[in-house]
Amino acid sequence: MNKPRVRIYTDYKSPYAFVANKRLFELEDAYGVELEWLPYTLRVAEFMGTVEERTPHFWRKVRYAYMDARRYANAQGLTMKGPRRIYDAFYSSVGMLFSQRHGFFRPYHDTVFHRFWSHDLEIDELSAITDVIESVGGSASEFHNYVAGPSRAEHDRIIDEAEALGVFGVPTMVFNNELFWGGDRIDMLIERIKNPETIALALGSRHRK
């Protein structure tokens, strides 16, 4: 019998994606679901604008967001240092896909998240991500071939498919085509996993099978 599947879109440079990991992985054992992890690489400049365009209101919101995420991190005993600059997470995202294909997703995933938020990993440097791949048992040459070959097309297709579903941020969980954005929606996701028929009541006339 196939397990119910929860698709999770994530990005290693998102603090809220980082602090949601623990509870998301717990869903597998607690509720017997299969997790499908996919990258949704945030294009920061696209939704935040240039640094010059950002208002004082924007920066107050950013400072609060990192403070809030740090509270969740501290409660889990995680280290979270604010990012030093704007990152393009493409290499880390395709490393996620490569690691799944080669059977070392969890150690890769945990290593990238923990080292990035400890200021110990530059996720937009190919050499740095390659080092992580090798450290968890992967082949540097195979990863480089993947990066130089089909990785960009596969990555962009996943992003396009995510946006067609309505994804706009991370972490976003998708269960039976219903979207749940943010770690604070995990309880709502759990309720839907336990009682999938409640989607009709929750969404009313907007529910489409």
User: Domain 5-206, what fold?
Assistant: Glutaredoxin (3.40.30)
Helix (H, G, I), strand (E, B) or coil at 169: coil
Under the banding of pLDDT at 50, 70 and 90, the label for residue 44 is low
More confident residue, 63 or 171: 171
pLDDT for 41 equals 95
The model's pLDDT over 182-205, given as tens digits with 9 standing for 90+, comes to 999 999 999 999 999 988 888 875
DSSP assignment of 60-125: HHHHHHHHHHHHHHHHTT------SS----HHHHHHHHHHHHTT-HHHHHHHHHHHHHTT---TT-
Q: pLDDT tens digit string along 16-34?
A: 999 999 999 999 999 999 9
pLDDT confidence of residue 86: 87
With CA atoms as reference, report the closest residue to 9 among 38, 33, 43, 41. 38
Q: Among 32-41, 80-89, 129-138, 160-169, whose mean pLDDT is lowest?
A: 80-89
**Which among 66, 138, 61, 68 is positioned nearest to 99, based on CA atoms?**
138
Domain coordinates of the chain in residue numbers?
5-206
- Contact between 93 and 39 under an 8 Å Cβ cutoff? The reply is yes
pLDDT, mean of residues 81-87: 89
The alpha carbon dihedral of 184, 7, 197, 2 has a sign of negative
Lookup result for tokens 């600059």: 85
pTM higher than 0.75 for the full model? Answer: yes
By three-state DSSP, how is residue 15 classified?
helix
For residue 73, pLDDT over 60 is answered with yes
Using CA atoms, how far apart are residues 10 and 18, in angstroms rounded to an integer?
A: 9
